[in-house]
Every structure is written in C-alpha cells, then in structure tokens.
Structure 1
Amino acid sequence: MRSIGEMARESGLGVSALRFYDRTGVLVPARVDPVSGYRWYDPAQLEEARLLARLRRAGMPLADVRLVLAGWSGADKDLVGELLQAHLRRLERDLSDARDEFSTLQELLAYRENTLTSRLVTTVRLTASAPELAAALDAVRFACSTDPELPMLGGVLFDIEEAALRVVATDRYRMAVARAGATGHGGPAVQVVVPAPLVDAMRALVNGEEPVRLSADGDRVTLETGDGQASGRRLDHDFPDYRRLVHLPTGRRALVDVAVFRKAVESGPVRTSEVRHQDGASYDLSVLKVAHDGTVVVCDDGDDDQNQVAVNREFLLDAIAAGGRDRLVLEFGVPTAPIAIRRPDDEETFSLLMPVRLEH
C-alpha cells in the first residue's frame, strides 16, 4: 500500500489534489484509517493516478475524466478514444478562437500606436533625500523582471511628481512600490523606466546623507551625488499603469514579528508535491492563513481551510526582507487576490504577491 504522500510523489498529483479527487469520488483510496482518517492506496491505483494527472494537465473537464478512468479500467476502449478525440477537437477549436482574438487585439494595438501622439520629450530635474531614495530602491529592486520577452519590466519605474518620487517594480507575479521625498520639479508628472543595472549603479552611489540630484533629459537618466555620477539610457518602453493594480479590496490585516514569521516560513511546511513552473523555474509554495487569534499561520498539507492563500515561498521571503522593518502588516483578501505586505509606519511603501492556485 502507498501512503498519500508516496502516491503524490509518484503520480504527479498534489496531496491536496488527491484529497479533492477522493471527496469527489474520482480516485478513492483503497483504505482509509478509521481512527486517523489517513488514506492508503493500492499499488494498482498508481496507473490511474498518473493517467488522471495527465488528463488534468491537458485541461480535460472533470466529468469527462470520470468516464475516461471508468473506460480505461474496463473494456470500453472505444469510449476512451472518443472522449480523448473530442477533447482534442475542443482544444484545437479553442486555440483557433484564441488566435482570432489575439489577431484582432494586435490590429487594435497597431491602430492605437498609429493614432497616439509621439511621446513627449522633456527635461526633468529634481533633488531627493539620499536615505529615502536608498530605502525606496531597496524596497522595490527585488521585484524587477528578468524575462527577456518583457523588457518593459526589466527596470524600475521612476514616477516623478511635484513633491514625490515613487519607484515601482514588477515581474507580473509580484509588485513593489515605495516613495521618496523630492523637490525641484514643478511641472506635470513624468515617468521614466530605469534599467535594473543602472538602478544598481545608482544605489551604490546613494550611501550618504546629502541630497542627490536626479535628471532625465531625452533618453538619458542621470543621478549625481557628491561622490560621483551614474548615467545611462532609460528603457524605451511604457510601464504598466501600476495605480490600477494596487487598489485592493479591504482585507483582514495581521501584524507579524518579522524574525518569528521568517523562521516559520523558512522551516515551515511547503507544498513540495505541487511544484510549478514560472519563468521556466520550479518553486515551492507556502500556504498562509490568518488564524482566529489574528496570527498568520503557515498551513500544512492537512489544512483545507477555504481562506488559505498560496504564494511563492522565495518571493515571500524576498518581500519580507525588502520590508525593512522588525514588524510588518500582512493583508489578506479573498484567496484569489494578492497578499499585501505593508510597513506599519509607511502606507506608501508596500509589496504585493500574486496568489497561486492550488491544484485540486
């Protein structure tokens, strides 16, 4: 007999997915311990579990999966073949429809690019607090993208307003926003995307207490301090409208001690059987929830709370480190909404982590 953990590792289905398929009657364990409720599977069920994993990865609806499994174990191979072919035809039809929609979207985008006026080229000069700018860059740098197919996300947005400089970074799966005080710019708001290597060069210079001077002239961005200068070309791409992405529904807030929480995440359970691929790399999940006493709990595999949220563990640890405080506020909305990680004393510096859907 195989334990549920062994079945998960050998089949490619997550532990939570195996529990789900048990509850729905798709793949029922051969034996369930009447005292502990622990599930045990017959060795012959491994083939069915692997087949189930393949069918679900192919996006087959659960109702059809039931019939395929029933036909697979019986003599009705014609039914299985017909169901597989029908699903393949649906996938091909859906792909054709998606291509048509994307073709239309590309035409609309080309039309917008031809009708919009050219980008305004202006010279911007401002002065910023060195400690504030350093702290702001430290708070967002971890969220820069390294995806070569999305060059517009491979840097930090400098969003310049009359009395503030906001810096923003995102790789789609996480976003970080921070603010530094600024003076000297009296014109309209200007946005400049600074490539990550230039951001790192700027950060290396911003170590003192004296104000620093930032300028953007055409396609060049320059930071000057008493110790030197970092200058380079800005990215010739528009950054997403981050302001539309940071307004989240009001959620439940929990204050965490960073040292204690980091230790709980680092040593706590992960969904190792639910390894996913993001940007071509596999990663583990930490599953979180707010307990009744207001503490944030790292859930184990046996916790089926509907309000738990799964996030990339490495991203979570990065965001905690970038928070730069002994205590941070974690804000949870619905399980499909991002988790917000905020500073108790600074509402304008925060990180957002996209949730990861757990397999069922």
Structure 2
Amino acid sequence: MRSIGEMARDSGLSVSALRFYDNAGVLLPAWVDPVSGYRWYEPGQLEEARLLACLRRTGMPLADIRLVLAGWSHAEPDLVRGLLQAHLRRLERGLAEARSEFSALRATIDHRENLMASSTAVLELSVPAPELAAALDAVRFAAGTDPELPMLGGVLFDIEGAHLRLVATDRYRMAVAQTSALGYGGPRTQVVVPLPLADAMRALLTGDGSVQVSVDGDRVRLEAGDRQAGGRSLGSDFPDYRRLVHLPAARQARIDTEAFREALRTGPVRAGETREQDDEPCDVSVLRVTEDGRVLVCDDGDDDQDSVAVNREFLLHALAAGARDELILELGAPTAPLAIRRPGDDSGFSILMPVRLTD
C-alpha cells in the first residue's frame, strides 16, 4: 500500500488535497490506521488520484468530479465522456464571456485616455507674473530630491476654475500657494512641473504683466513676452495634498518673523536627533506656545507634553518662504503637523511634520 506522502508524490495531488478529498468523500483511502489516523492507499487508486488531479486542474466542480470518478470506477465511459464534454463547453463559454468583458474594459480604458488627452491638449491660461513668482518662491523649498520618489521632484500645478494652486512636498514638509488664472474653463487639471523647468519658469517672471501657461499632453510651457520655458512634465502621480489641507484644531501664535528666525538660529537645539521616517539626523528645535500667545524655543529641561519638535533647518526655510514680516504658527499635538500661515491670507501655507524625540 502507498502512504499518503507517496500518493501525493506520484499523483500530483498535495497531502492537504488528499485529506480534503477524503473528508469530502471523493477519494477515500483504503485503510486508516485507527491509532495514528495515518491514511494508506491501494496501488489501484493511483490512477484514480491522477485523474482527480487532472480534473482539479481544469476547474471542474466537485459535484461533477464525484460523478466522473464514479463512472470511471464502474467502467461507464459514455457517462465520463459526457461529463467531460459538458465541462469543456462551460469552459469555452466562460472564455468567450471573459474575452467580451476584457474587450469592453479595453474600450473603457481607451475612452478614458482619450478624454484625459483631450482635456489637457488645449489647456491655456493667463497668470499674473508677480503672483506666479511669489507662489513658486513660496513652495520651491519643500520639493523633494529623492530619486526613488520622482513624483515629488517637481511642483504640482493644480488648475481649477479661476485658480492655479502650486504644491510641493518631500513627505516631511509641504507648501501650498495660490494664484489667480484666466482663460481656462475646463475640468480640473493637474501637471507636475520638474524642478529644473520650474526654476527656468521662475527666471522669466520679472515683469508686472501676465504670462501664458499652456499644457499640451505631457508638455508644459510658460511664455513671457518673446521668452519661453517649456519641457516634459513628470509622468508620476502626485500625492493628494488636499487630505492635509484641513488640519486639526491647534494653538495659534502670531510671530515677528525676523525675531523668531533669530531665536531659532541662536537658541538651543537637539543636535543629532533622528527623523524616524528615514533615520537621517538633523538639528531639532522644540517649540511651545505660552498662555499669552508667545512661541518659545525650549531648553533641554523646559519640555512639556504640549511641546512640538521640528527640523530647525526646515522651519527656517519655511519662514523665509513665507515672505512676511509677521506670520502665524499653528502648533497642535506633538505628533501633529506644524503649520505656517500668512495673516489674512488663506491662499497659501506650509506644513512641517514633527520630529519624534529620542529618549
């Protein structure tokens, strides 16, 4: 007699499959050891097991497999042939239906691609040069440089209605700025402008008039008079930044930008703290909002549970990009993002992810 392991090896059925077919009453072992429960099969059962393995690979339903094996063991070839033919017809119908569904799916994909191409091929809008220059300056510092995340190595131009919103992020910080835009009334369109092209565009924004921005497929171009900068956009999808626009309630503090920058530059830092996202050490400033609305840069022994730790270099960059004598800091829980906003201006802001302090 054959053990269950030998039967599995010679039949093409796994041990677990043989146990399953035993419990299902399809292929019963010739003898089961009453003490160990071990299954044993007669040599003549090997051919039946191989047939079962073949039927299983074709996807035949278990009820039909039972009938085929019954017809096989009772030498009823006509019954077996009829069952096999019926199953083959089912497979052919299923394949035809699958081909039809895939054909419809390809048509849907092609139609969507055509709509996307047509929606971007004729996009043109006019943007005030000073506003676009200020928006690029406000977000440029937050763009990523990680080659493994190419979609972050640019500035998102998010065009919707009469507004052009610019966004940049490297996962640890994000900056959003908005400008007015005229001349485009189509659906919302997004294009990621690579940093070298964004910098070339910024170099052309020296006048007080308007410039023209156009998107043609994967090409984006800015025209300022007789000068222009254009190139291919990044093909990767940009993260949905809108999920971070609405932050939890936080404590607000109005700061004198230059005085606060000086406090950061000369104040205490936690040298060598690590950003847990990428294990890179950085200088960290720990901030706390007092009851009278002031922001303190904390000493090592001046922490409390409401203190927020941030990458000092990132915060200095965000303050410079804010380009205002006064800014508003929003500090929530120690694990919540810190926001930097311009007083009376809801069109732009920066977000910095907090740093978890090591013990």
TM range (shorter): 0.5 to 0.7
Structure 1 counterpart of 2:41: none
Counterpart Cα distance in 2 of 1:246 and 1:187: 24
What is the CA distance between 1:305 and its match in structure 2?
0.7
Cα deviations by residue, 1:66-90 (Å, 9 ceiling, x for unpaired): xxxxxxxxxxxxxxxxxxxxxxxxx
| Aligned pairs, number | 248
Q: What is the SS of the residue equivalent to 1:140?
A: helix
Letter in 2 for 1:150: L
Q: Decide whether aligned partners of structure 1 residues 273 and 137 sit closer, same or farther in structure 2, where only a CA change above 3 A counts.
A: closer
- The alpha-carbon deviation at position 278 of structure 1 amounts to 6.4
| 1:315-334 equivalent positions in 2, closer than 5 A | 315-334=314-333
1:336 equivalenced with 2:335 (yes/no): yes
Q: Secondary structure at the match of 1:120?
A: helix
One-letter amino acid of the structure 1 residue matched with residue 289 of structure 2: V
Query: What SS does structure 1 have at the residue aligned with 2:193?
Result: strand
Residue aligning to 2:346: 347
1:296 to 1:151, Cα distance in 2 relative to 1, 3 A: same
SS at match of 1:272: strand
Which residue number in structure 1 is paired with residue 261 of structure 2? 262
Q: Offset of 1:279 from its aligned partner?
A: 5.4
CA separation of 1:131 and 1:273: change in aligned 2, threshold 3 A: closer
Cα RMSD of the aligned pairs, angstroms, is 1.8
Alignment partner, residue 120 of structure 1: 116
Instruction: State how far apart, in whole Å, the 2-side matches of 1:357 and 1:275 are.
Output: 8
1:235 corresponds to which residue? 234
Q: CA deviation at 1:274?
A: 2.6
Contact kept? 1:162, 1:184, Cα under 8 Å: no
Per the alignment, residue 12 of structure 1 pairs with: none
Paired residue type of 1:269: P
Show the counterpart of 1:296: 295
User: In the TM superposition, what whole-angstrom CA distance separates every residue of 1:144-173 from its partner, at most 9, and x where no partner exists?
Assistant: 000000000000000001200000000000
What residue number does 2:149 align with?
150
Once the two structures are TM-superposed, the CA of residue 276 in structure 1 deviates from its matched residue by 4.8
Q: TM-score, length-normalised on structure 1?
A: 0.66
Shift of 1:281: 4.5
CA distance in structure 2 between the aligned counterparts of 1:282 and 1:253, rounded to whole angstroms? 28
> CA 1:333 to 1:275, structure 2 compared with 1: closer, same or farther past 3 Å?
closer
Amino acid paired to 2:135:
A
Give 1:277 deviation, angstroms. Answer: 7.2
In the TM superposition, what is the alpha-carbon distance from 1:288 to its structure 2 partner?
0.5
Matched, 1:175 2:197: no
Aligned-partner Cα distance in 2 for 1:130–1:171: 26
Distance 1:163 1:261 in 2: 35
Q: Which amino acid aligns with 1:321?
A: A
Q: State the partner residue of 1:8.
A: none
1:40-51, aligned counterparts within 5 Å?
none
Q: Secondary structure at the match of 2:199?
A: helix
Equivalent-residue separation in structure 1 for 2:355 and 2:198 (angstroms): 29
Query: Is the CA contact (8 Å cut-off) linking 2:309 and 2:354 kept in structure 1?
Result: yes
Distance 1:273 1:199 in 2: 33
* TM superposition shift of 1:282: 2.8
Runs of 4+ in 1 over 2 A off after TM superposition: 113-119, 273-282
Matches within 5 A, 1:151-300: 151-276=150-275, 281-300=280-299
Structure with more contact order per residue of length (Cα contacts < 8 Å, sep ≥ 6): 1
**Is this contact kept in 2: 1:276–1:284, CA < 8 A?**
no
Give the superposition deviation at 1:272: 1.3
Residue aligned with 1:213, SS: strand
Q: What is the DSSP-based 3-state SS (H/G/I as helix, E as strand, rest coil) of the residue aligned with 1:355?
A: coil
Distance 2:186 2:195 in 1: 26
Q: Relative to 1, partners in 2 of residues 1:273 and 1:301: Cα closer, same or farther, differing over 3 Å? A: farther
Pick which of 340-349 and 269-278 moved more.
Answer: 269-278
Question: Cα deviations across residues 167-197 of structure 1 (Å, max 9, x unaligned)?
Answer: 0000000000000010000111100000000
Q: AA paired with 2:116?
A: L
TM-score, scaled to structure 2: 0.66
For 1:273 and 1:181, how far apart are their aligned partners in 2?
A: 42
Distance 1:315 1:212 in 2: 31
1:147 and 1:279 in contact (8 A); partners too: no
Per-residue deviation, residues 34-80 of structure 1 (Å, max 9, x unmatched): xxxxxxxxxxxxxxxxxxxxxxxxxxxxxxxxxxxxxxxxxxxxxxx
Aligned partners of 1:277 and 1:283 also within 8 Å: no
Aligned to 1:9: none
